[in-house]
Amino acid sequence: MSETNNTNNNDRDIHTHALVGERLCLDFANTVSWHDSEDSREWLTSYERLVGWCQHADILTEQQALSLLQQAEDHPAEANRVLKKTVEFREAIHDIFSSIPKNETPNKADLATLNGMLVDTYRSIQIVPDDDNNFSLQFQKPEDSLDGILAPIVQSAIDILVSEKELKRVKKCEGDPCGWLFLDTSRNRSRRWCSMADCGNRAKARRFYQNKK
C-alpha cells in the first residue's frame, strides 16, 4: 500500500470526480488519481469529502449526507477513525481488483481487510419479507452510523468477486501509471482506458510522436 499525497486535490470539487468504473466498488477504488505512481493524488482527504463522494456516487441522498455531516461535526474523532478505515479498505479493494486482470491471487492481508469489512456489514444486514412474501436483504440506513456508507461498497465488491462473468471483465487502465480500474462492459471486450479523453488520448499522442521520430 502506498502513502498517498494529500496535496493538490483538496481544492478540486469531489462532485466532479469521474465515475468510470461501471461498478460502485471500482469507482471507489478510483478515488486516488495516478494510483500506481510516486505522485498519487488522494481524493478522500476528509470525512466531509468522503460524504461528498458518496452523494456523488448515489450512495447517499442530500438529506442523508447532511445528517452524516452533522454527526461528524459532533464526533470528529470518530469521523476521522472512519475516514482512516475507509482509506485502508479502499487500498485493499484497489489491490485485490488490480490482481485480477493479472490473474494473480490477491494478497492475504487485503483479503483479511475485506473479510473484516464483510463481518461488519453483515452484522447490520437483515432479511425481510415484502407484501408478497418475497424476501430481500435490507441494509441499515446509511445515515444511522458514520461508517454505514461502506456497506453498499462491500456488497458491490462481493457481487463482482463471486460472479465469474463479471470477474473476467475487470480491467486496469493501460495508461501507465494511471491505476484506475473498470468493468469492461463493451460487447467485444475492447475497452483499454479509464477514459478515451484522458489516458486514451495520451497514448494516441505518444504513438503519433513515436511514429514521427
Q: Which residues bind Zn ion (CB under 5 A)?
A: 173, 175, 178, 180, 194, 199
The residue type at 134: N
Least distance to Zn ion, CB of residue 77, Å: 36
Least distance to Zn ion, CB of residue 104, Å: 20
Least distance to Zn ion, CB of residue 3, Å: 21
**In sequence order, what are the residues at sequence separation of 6 or more whose Cβ sits closer than 8 angstroms to the Cβ of residue 193?**
173, 174, 175, 199, 200, 203
Q: Which residue, 21 or 175, has its beta carbon nearer to Zn ion?
A: 175
Give percent helix, percent strand, percent coil of the chain, each to the nearest 5: 50, 10, 40
Q: Which residue, 33 or 156, has its beta carbon nearer to Zn ion?
A: 33
Beta bridge partners, 136, equal 128
Least distance to Zn ion, CB of residue 199, Å: 3
CA angle centred on 11, ends 7 and 16, rounded to 5°:
115
Q: Which residue, 20 or 65, has its beta carbon nearer to Zn ion?
A: 20
Of 185, 141, 146, 187, nearest to 26 (Cα)?
A: 185
Q: Which stretches of the chain are assigned E, i.e. beta strand?
A: 32-33, 41-42, 126-129, 135-138, 170-172, 181-183
Q: Which residue, 189 or 202, has its beta carbon nearer to Zn ion?
A: 202
Least distance to Zn ion, CB of residue 4, Å: 17
Q: Which residue, 163 or 186, has its beta carbon nearer to Zn ion?
A: 186
| Omega before residue 177 within 30° of 0, cis | yes
Q: Which residue, 128 or 197, has its beta carbon nearer to Zn ion?
A: 197
Least distance to Zn ion, CB of residue 119, Å: 33
> Could you count the other beta carbons within 10 Å of the beta carbon of residue 11?
6
**In sequence order, what are the residues at sequence separation of 6 or more whose Cβ sits closer than 8 angstroms to the Cβ of residue 189?**
169
